[in-house]
Amino acid sequence: MSSTPSPKDASGQEVVYTTRVEFGDCDPAGIVWFPNFFRWIDAASRHFFAECGVPRWEETAQTLGVIGTPLVDTHTRFVKAASYGDTLQIAVRITEWRDKSFVQTYRVTRGDDLILECEEVRIFAAKREGGGIRAVPIPPTIRALCTG
């Protein structure tokens, strides 16, 4: 699995994360079992921030109080199946910044074939006193890194 930056657009950086479908990623019919797409999308989200220069969440927890970007909503449209041996590219970008959340979009392709499109809403989270997490304002330093 790897990630490479792509050219910027009006919404900021785009990062392409690449993964290979392994035998164990597939169901008995030989196609990717759908939860694996969400595992790869989650990995692509973190790689997006890493490629933009955002430190690991362990570091931002210490410096900014941000422990990560948990998912609060997702919508996915599956277009084609993927199978063992396929190499998938996951293009990731942030298309909307809000006060405490953002919209991150993904296009999963195999060559020129669109496999799926996904849109997620994520928050920047901090630990809540007494347990749990809470949404916090997006740190300006992180937003600046991600918008180029």
Of 9, 25, 27, 86, the active-site residue reads 27
Token digits of residue 92: 């990731």
User: In total, how many domains does the chain have?
Assistant: 1
Along the 148 residues of the chain, how does pLDDT read in single tens digits?
Answer: 555 444 433 357 999 999 999 999 999 999 999 999 999 999 999 999 999 999 999 999 999 999 999 999 999 999 999 999 999 999 999 999 999 999 999 999 999 999 999 999 999 999 999 999 999 999 999 999 999 7
pTM of the model: 0.89
Sign of CA dihedral 41, 60, 93, 89: negative
Is 112 a residue of the active site?
Answer: no
Q: Which domain holds residue 49?
A: 2-147
**C-alpha distances in Å from residue 94, one per residue of 3, 30, 32:** 16, 32, 26
CATH of the domain at 16: 3.10.129.10
Rounded Cα–Cα distance for residues 10 and 21 (Å): 32
